[in-house]
Structure 1
Amino acid sequence: MWTSDNQKKGYMAITAHFIDESWRLRNILMRFIYVPAPHNAEVIAEKLHESLVEWNLDEKLLTVNVDNCNANDKEIAEIVGKIGKSKLLCEGTLLHMCCCAHILNLIVKDGLDVMQSATEIIRESVAYWTASPKRIEKFEEMAKYKKVKIKRKLRLDCKTRWNSTFVMLDIALPYRPVLERAKEKEKQYEWLPSSEEWAFVVDVVERLRLFYEITELFSGTDYVTANVYFPKICEIKMKMRQWEASSNNTIKEMTKSMTEKIDKYWSNIQGLMAIAIILDPRYKKKMLVACFAMLHGIEPSPYECIEKVDDIVASLRLLLEEYEVENDAYTPDEESMISTMKAHAIMSVFQNIVAQQMPATARLQGEIDQYLNDGLVPYVEKFNVLDWWRVAGTRYPTLRKVARDIFAIPVTTVASESAFSTSGRKLNEHRSRFTPHMVEVLMCSQDWLRNKFKDANTGEASFWTCLQDIQEGMQVHKKCTHTFLVYVLEIYNLLGNVLI
């Protein structure tokens, strides 16, 4: 949900995530819809269901990604009731997907809270030394005197974005000797953390770095994130286990609170994200066995880990059967047929005849077994899992359809810029002045044009300059709709065929 301070109104952003026919990851803002008060589960679910029906997507859902609050649990139940369990995959049991960025925000808040006093002192220091060009110059002179290299300039944070607070602290820490000298030489400068506060901030910032990097990774919109969630959560859990052994009692208490939060939320989606790991040909079952071993103690029984992995594979088998039911009768994938016919024409015809005569369940189980028994793809950091399934995945036609849907699932509900916000999502003062209809026109048009521009992959500076002109022009003119259409026409005239 987004809020508009000027109008005291709430808006719901509904974004569709899917993998298109060319196996490219896509995300498109379908609606930015005004939601009347009260913003309870019934009202939100009704507006969401109306939008899904309007776009003919109500029976094509795999998951609905929402923030983590009690109202959203009820909202998902309302959606399942309106659509009907029989029309959803696995009767809607997979529908509820929690936002990982929201989970990480809750966890990080504990880290920021324990060093709030020291953070405020450093914030005042940064504000003082960045207040004017003269002070900046004086600070740089003191840094030169103390032989401290200025790799990054001091930067004041935005209190509602925890990543900016992290960056502010991370930049300020190497300048400790400079700030200590400043306290001696500058009478007006009053803020300086104690030695204990400096040490504590260093300790906590290093721990928060992990969450900063993982949140950035999770918040990407141009690459698959479903197959990175499980290993990264394992990494966080392992680090927390190490932090519990800290000699600092405050760190111990912070870690305990963080662990409780991650345990509360992460189990809701580990099944679906574990399936994503199996569908990554670099990992399959072996990565899951290793992850479960790390998650469940120092030396868990290998049989327990294997049992958990077998449960995930069993869930994948059931999911595959659901996809088969949707297809009614088995028809070999056209792309698979063409590529295979070119290489092995006679054998391809024979195998497809046999496949059509084979019972569906046996064929599907054989498809999974074949995939799992095939060797792992060598690990490379910039591996494109969608390219692999587009080409090599034709050997597993039904599993390929599952992979296409699973890998479209984002692990956050927000893009990178919003993922670090601790204050929620708010419309700026300018957009808040428009009617709800015009707000939706602006938000959706910007997203659609951005997507079309990304396809064109050219004319970036001109495009975004024009898009800003739209909003500035609409602020001046009273007739918003007319102005909007005029500026859109100007964009198309400027870019010509780029957006056509």
Structure 2
Amino acid sequence: MYVARKASLKEWISSQQHRVSLTTDIWTANVTKASYMVITVHFVDADWRLRKLILGFKHITDHKSNMISKVLLDCLAEWGIEKLFTITVDNATANSIGLKKFIDEFKLLRHDSLVLGGYYMHMRCCAHIINLIVQDGLTKLGRNITVVRNGVQYVRFSTSRCDTFELKVVWSSTYLMLTRAMKFKLAFQKMEDEDKLYNDYFMELKNGAKQKGPPTYSNWRAIERFVKFLGLFYTATLVVSASTKGCSYKCYGEIVTIEKNLTNMSTSYDKELSKMHVEMREKFSKYWEGIKNINKMLIVASVFDPRQKMQFATMCFEKLYGKDSKDAKDMCTSVLNLMKDMLVEYTYYNKGSSTQSSQSNPSSSTAQDQFIFDSLSSDIAEDVVPEFERMDDAYSDLVSSKGGGEMKDELDIYLKYETETPKTLPGSEWDVLSWWRLNSQKFPILSKIAKDFLAMQVSSVASEEAFNNSGRILSAYRSCLSHYIVEVLICTKQWIKQDMKINDKDCHSNSQILADIELFDNLQRGKF
């Protein structure tokens, strides 16, 4: 079953003939301590719907760059994928080195395997970067958070539940705990005044020392100031972590929102917030400093939202660097130049497909007749009369000398059109992919670029989801499963979930649902 499904999916992906983006991450099983690398593919299909499939759940012997590069190359060769747009990974040094080695090998497969030589292919996980920035801020609030957490722990009286708050990587749980605790600030203060057990709780010894708390007025003030600011990061994490719908065009807006408020934080009259800004800003600039360190693909992606185009990016540059400033103008120029370079490259690579379509068109007979006539005329001209200058030929030469006016026109026309102002129902979201599907004939090349940008992932959350399933599959009772069987179970389960979407089925009957459950049970027993 696994082999058959894999073969059909491989054929289906090949039939799409599109460039794809990847997300990948590494996970170590708690029970077996074996490490696995998951590779997930993302692309927009012929019907302009975003697709996501796990290509492999590969066992790896180490986390070094050579292993990462080799597993990626082998997995893509296994699936016959030869054209990539971006690969999204977390910020480990081994990933950066591994992707450099991967690019050097992969671009040898074919001349169009990577866009612009793979210079922008490496996409750092935005959710991970946000996590790094927030951790620096939470460190400064360590004691304030601890005393509030201890107060919450007393109320809930469940240490196991409060263990979640100790996880440094899951800072969002700390944020949610603090926001909820803030709503009951007066209740905590009343308990301190009237509840003897509450006060005795903080006198108890834990590891030879009294517990910190109860939370005081100054603790609540410090928490209140930072929680409002932390909300920006929480919202940004939710935006960039969406993997079922395209979110690449939203990412730059979240980055600028964070940067602008970090700048405001530095000039705050609040000394504590001003101190937090220094370390948080340093971490931000390391990955997202606008002029040097940010991957400009994140900015270009925002331009492919018809509601924003270059107007939004230009506004962001002016907010950050000042209106009419040199830096703002330079950023606008660099983004436009990047889009023009991509348009030139995509136009060149799509010449073959456009030629084939024109040959299959009945109206192409006129073009063929004209070609024969021109050939005969040129032969006669060489023998009878000197070469004459034709105005249509002169214009073609003029267009060519200016670097391809038609290619620039497609981008210019898109940018010169007024931005879209669609009306949506409350709770619903405007579908950017649908707009590009409807306008793909108007922008034949630009729409192909839009497909790749809208499928680009800005976080590796899509790959991390596989680890939730693997944790259940690799339980203590299944610790003897071979690495191949683990991959079969993980991949097949995800493929079954995607089956309904791939086959364009709106719903499953009860019998179909039961059949899928029975199939997965058989897979877990090794019957496949």
| In 1, Cα distance between equivalents of 2:357 and 2:284 | 43
Q: Matched residues in 1 for 2:228 and 2:463: separation?
A: 21
Alignment-derived partner of residue 435 in structure 2: 388
Alignment of 1:250-269 (within 5 A): 250-267=272-289, 268-269=293-294
- CA deviation after TM superposition for structure 1 residue 253, in Å: 2.3
1:98 matched residue in structure 2: 124
Report deviation, 1:34: 0.7
Aligned to 2:488: 441
Give a deviation string over 1:362-381, Cα, whole Å, max 9, x none. Answer: 32122112222222212556
What is the percentage of aligned positions where both structures have the same residue?
Answer: 28
Q: Distance in 1 between matches of 2:47 and 2:299?
A: 25
User: Are residues 464 and 41 of structure 1, via their aligned partners in 2, closer, same or farther at CA, if it must alter by over 3 Å?
Assistant: farther
Describe the shift of the 1:104–1:245 C-alpha distance in structure 2 as closer, same or farther (beyond 3 A). same
Instruction: Verify the 8 A CA contact 1:13 1:29 in the aligned structure 2.
Output: yes
CA contact (8 A) 1:127 1:156 kept: no
Q: 2:37 aligns with which of 12, 15, 28?
A: 12
Match 1:78 to one of 96, 101, 109: 101
| Distance in 2 separating the partners of 1:401 and 1:90 | 15
In 2, the alpha carbon distance for the partners of 1:122 and 1:468 equals: 45
Letter in 1 for 2:87: V
Residue 410 of structure 2 aligns with which residue?
A: 367
> TM-score by structure 1 length?
0.78
Q: Is the 8 A contact 1:65 1:412 kept in 2?
A: yes
TM-fit CA distance, 1:276: 1.4
> Distance in 1 between the 2:510 and 2:357 partners?
41
> Following the alignment from structure 1 to structure 2, what is the Cα–Cα distance between the partners of residues 302 and 395?
35
Any conservation in 1 of the 2:489–2:523 contact (CA below 8 Å)?
A: no
Cα distance, 1:173–1:414 mapped onto 2, change above 3 Å: same
Matches within 5 A, 1:187-206: 187=197, 188-190=200-202, 191-206=213-228
Question: Structure 2 vs 1, CA of residues 189 and 31 (structure 1 numbering), >3 Å: closer, same or farther?
Answer: same
Query: Equivalent of 1:289, from 289, 314, 321?
Result: 314
Q: Which residue of structure 2 lines up, in the alignment, with residue 497 of structure 1?
A: none
Q: How many angstroms apart in 2 are the aligned matches of 1:412 and 1:333? A: 37
- The residue aligned with 2:150 is 124
- Residues 229-278 of structure 1, C-alpha deviations (whole Å, 9 max, x = no match): 11111111111111112233332222121111111112544411222122
| Unmatched runs of 5 consecutive residues or more in structure 2 | 1-25, 203-212, 372-391
Query: How many angstroms does 1:32 deviate by?
Result: 1.0
Residue matched to 2:7: none
Query: How far apart in 2 are the matches of 1:410 and 1:65?
Result: 6
Give the alignment's Cα RMSD to 1 decimal. Answer: 3.5
Which amino acid in 1 is paired with 2:152? V
2:64–2:94: 8 Å Cα contact kept in structure 1? yes
- Whether 2:497 is the aligned partner of 1:450: answer yes
Paired AA for residue 213 in structure 1: T
Deviations 1:460-481 (A, max 9, x none): 999999988888x6xxxxxx85
Equivalent of 1:164 in 173, 192, 196: 173
- The amino acid of 1:159's aligned partner reads E
**In structure 2, what is the equivalent of residue 318 of structure 1?**
341
Aligned equivalent of 2:374: none
Q: CA 1:175–1:416 in 2, change beyond 3 Å: closer, same or farther?
A: farther
Deviates more, 1:369-378 or 1:74-83: 369-378
Q: Aligned ranges for residues 32-431 of structure 1 at < 5 Å? A: 32-37=57-62, 39-57=63-81, 59-84=82-107, 86=111, 87-131=113-157, 157-160=164-167, 161-183=170-192, 184-187=194-197, 188-190=200-202, 191-267=213-289, 268-296=293-321, 299-302=322-325, 304-329=327-352, 331=354, 361-378=404-421, 380=423, 382-415=429-462, 427-428=470-471, 431=474
Per-residue CA distance 1:144-195 (angstroms, 9 max, x = gap): xxxxxxxxxx987443322111111111112122222323324243242111
Displacement of 1:210 after TM fit?
0.9
CA drift of 1:125 comes to 2.3
Paired letter, 2:296: G
> 1-side partners of 2:469 and 2:220: how far apart?
34
Residue type of the alignment partner of 1:56: G
1:62 aligns to what SS in structure 2? strand
In 2 relative to 1, CA 174–110 (structure 1 residues): closer, same or farther, beyond 3 Å? same
Find the partner of 1:30 among 42, 51, 55.
55
Flag the structure with larger Rg.
Answer: 2
Secondary structure at the aligned position of 1:21 is classed as coil
Once structures 1 and 2 are overlaid, which stretch shifts more, 213-222 or 177-186? Answer: 177-186
Q: How much does 1:427 deviate? A: 4.9
**Structure 1 residues 468 and 166: alpha-carbon distance in aligned structure 2, compared to 1, 3 A threshold:** farther
What is the CA deviation profile of residues 373-424 of structure 1, one whole-angstrom value per residue up to 9, with x for unaligned ones? 22221255632111111012321111111111111101111149869xxxx9
| Cα distance in 2, alignment partners of residues 470 and 111 from structure 1 | 48
Could you list the per-position Cα deviations for residues 47-97 of structure 1 after superposition, in whole angstroms to 9, with x for gaps in the alignment?
Answer: 11100111111x210111111122222111110111136442211112111
User: Are the counterparts in 1 of residues 314 and 332 from structure 2 also a CA contact under 8 Å?
Assistant: yes
Q: For structure 1, which runs of at least 5 residues remain unmatched after alignment?
A: 133-153, 474-479, 487-500
**For residues 43 and 410 of structure 1, what CA distance do their matches in structure 2 show?**
23
**Counterpart residue identity of residue 43, structure 2:** F
Is the 1:4–1:426 Cα contact (8 Å) retained in structure 2? no
Provide TM-score, normalisation by structure 2: 0.75
Q: Distance in 1 between matches of 2:94 and 2:272?
A: 32
Distance 1:401 1:76 in 2: 25
Provide the C-alpha distance between the structure 2 equivalents of 1:99 and 1:461, rounded to a whole number of angstroms: 39
CA distance in 2, matches of 1:90, 1:425: 35
- One-letter amino acid of the structure 1 residue matched with residue 421 of structure 2: P
